[in-house]
Chains A and B, each alone.
Chain A
Amino acid sequence: MMNADKVLDAKGLACPMPIVKTRKEMKAMDSGQVLEILVTDKGAKADLTAWAKSGGHDLLDHQVDGDVLKFWIQKG
């Protein structure tokens, strides 16, 4: 399990909200800090991956835990 500086619970939210909230959290964080994101929207995986890439962030890891998808993104 990876250490995160902050956790965003976006479970139950449908697209586009997981990304909207992730983006907002990331804005308030410092470069190098890690945000853990919990989502249930299956489409979030491809979108978070693409969003992190386009924003210059690092998707460090992701896991599936039952219905919940977990992502760790490091701010670039």
Chain B
Amino acid sequence: MAVKAMAAGEVAKKVINNEPLFILDVRNGDAFADWKIEGGNIQYLNIPYFDLLDGVEEVVSDLPTDRDILVVCAKEGSSIMVAEMLSEEGVHSAYLSGGMKAWSEHLEPVKVGDLKNGGELYQFVRIGKGCLSYMAISEGEAAVIDATRMADIFLDFAQEKGAVIKHVFDTHLHADHISGGRTIAEATGATYYLPPADAEEVVFEYQALVNGLEASIGSTKVEALYSPGHTIGSTSFIVDDQYLMTGDILFIDSIGRPDLAGLAEDWVGDLRESLYSRFQELAGELTVLPAHFMIIEELNEDGSVSKKLGELFKENHGLNISDEQEFRDMVTKNLPPQPNAYQDIRKTNMGKITPDEEVQREMEIGPNRCAVR
């Protein structure tokens, strides 16, 4: 019997709408423990597909009858097999089309606000990996910030909106995902900006992203604010004096970790100054738009990830550690594991290596792990 496929986009909608779902994850236990589909109303059962080859009869009694069942594996092959076996036992389920790889790549565009003179600001939520990218559109021109590897999605989106991409920014040299910035810039003729302090080993041409740099699209102004600490080049953006894109320096419920380029001890002072001095001087009314979320609770009801800076200064633990030594210890000790393949990802973003697409997908498997809490 043919079984039903569920696209990553359908699963994303269920997560955002907090709909009930039961996930039978048939990857091995380590893979499941490391990274899975997160959601507020999801129940899980993890049984590796190779423990189900003799049959699924014993599992059937553990499956609910009152919510949809989704079988999930790495690429989809094993989940189709298991969904078919369940079907033979009379249990209806769907499999995740493309598996966790497709989940990792899915982007959900969410409008986060209006800009001057009818402009719009969109956040692209990479819900499976926790990456957030942005496109600001004004009067037929667009700027892209922290684009992910799936460049076509940004190119197509701009085209749908009738906008020409003029500026492409990366807040820093990413270590958890491969940037699509250079590809987008090459495809559109846009200018690609990187902070020079992060780009010393970069092998391609780029425009230096320095403190105070101003770029405009239509009637919207994008202003660079140097805010080092996650990397030495990390730079934030203020858009239309309303929005603050903080890259990997400040998140909703956590702050950036300073160790992914190997220099935690050196950069912890920069991190503290960015968060406790530079950002303190900004207006609390600014809407913070980070480059990541870590947990699903950071999503707003519409699936977007944002909060006023003033609220973060009250609620975000990482912004409320008055003791400097305590802060230093928090961001340099007991850090979570580093993102998968982060050194190769950095080299790819520098243009030093160019792995083929399948390898790039593998490199990005897993959560982003850019924060400390």
Known: A20-B53, A42-B362. A50 touches B75 (CB 8 A): no
Which of A2-10, A11-19, A31-39 is the interface stretch?
A11-19
Taken together as a complex, chains A and B put the C-alpha atoms of A14 and B98 apart, in Å, by 13
Is A46 touching B30 in the complex (CB atoms < 8 A)? Answer: yes
Cβ–Cβ < 8 Å partners of B362 in chain A: 42
Which of B43-51, B255-263, B302-310 is the interface stretch?
B43-51
Partner of B50, one of A14, A19, A42: A19
Quick check: is B29 within 8 A (CB to CB) of the other chain? yes
Taken together as a complex, chains A and B put the C-alpha atoms of A47 and B29 apart, in Å, by 9
Known: A19-B50, A54-B50. A14 touches B77 (CB 8 A): yes
Give the distance to chain A from B143, nearest Cβ to Cβ, in Å. Answer: 37
Is A46 touching B77 in the complex (CB atoms < 8 A)? Answer: no
Known: A46-B28, A46-B31. A54 touches B75 (CB 8 A): no
Is A15 touching B73 in the complex (CB atoms < 8 A)? Answer: yes
For this complex, 10 residue pairs linking A to B, each with C-beta atoms less than 8 Å apart, are A15-B74, A15-B75, A16-B77, A16-B81, A17-B77, A19-B50, A20-B53, A46-B30, A47-B50, A51-B48
Is A54 touching B74 in the complex (CB atoms < 8 A)? Answer: no
Give the distance to chain B from A74, nearest Cβ to Cβ, in Å. Answer: 17
Is B49 touching A19 in the complex (CB atoms < 8 A)? Answer: yes
Q: 7 closest pairs, A vs B, by CB?
A: A50-B28, A16-B78, A51-B50, A15-B77, A19-B50, A14-B77, A43-B74
Dominant SS among interface residues on chain B: helix
- Which residue from chain A places its CB closest to the CB of B31 in the assembled complex? A46
- Which residue from chain B places its CB closest to the CB of A42 in the assembled complex? B362
Number of interface residues of A (CB under 8 A): 14
Is B30 touching A50 in the complex (CB atoms < 8 A)? Answer: yes
Cβ–Cβ < 8 Å partners of B81 in chain A: 16
Query: Which residues from 44 to 96 on chain B have a C-beta closer than 8 Å to any C-beta of chain A?
Result: 48-51, 53, 73-75, 77-78, 81
Taken together as a complex, chains A and B put the C-alpha atoms of A50 and B49 apart, in Å, by 11
Cβ–Cβ < 8 Å partners of B30 in chain A: 46, 50
Please name 18 further chain A to chain B contacts, defined as beta carbons within 8 Å, in addition to the given A16-B81, A19-B53, sorted by A numbering.
A14-B75, A15-B49, A15-B74, A15-B75, A15-B77, A15-B78, A16-B50, A16-B53, A16-B77, A16-B78, A23-B53, A46-B28, A50-B29, A50-B48, A51-B28, A51-B48, A54-B48, A54-B50
- Which residue from chain B places its CB closest to the CB of A24 in the assembled complex? B53
- Which residue from chain A places its CB closest to the CB of B52 in the assembled complex? A16
Cβ–Cβ < 8 Å partners of A15 in chain B: 49, 73-75, 77-78
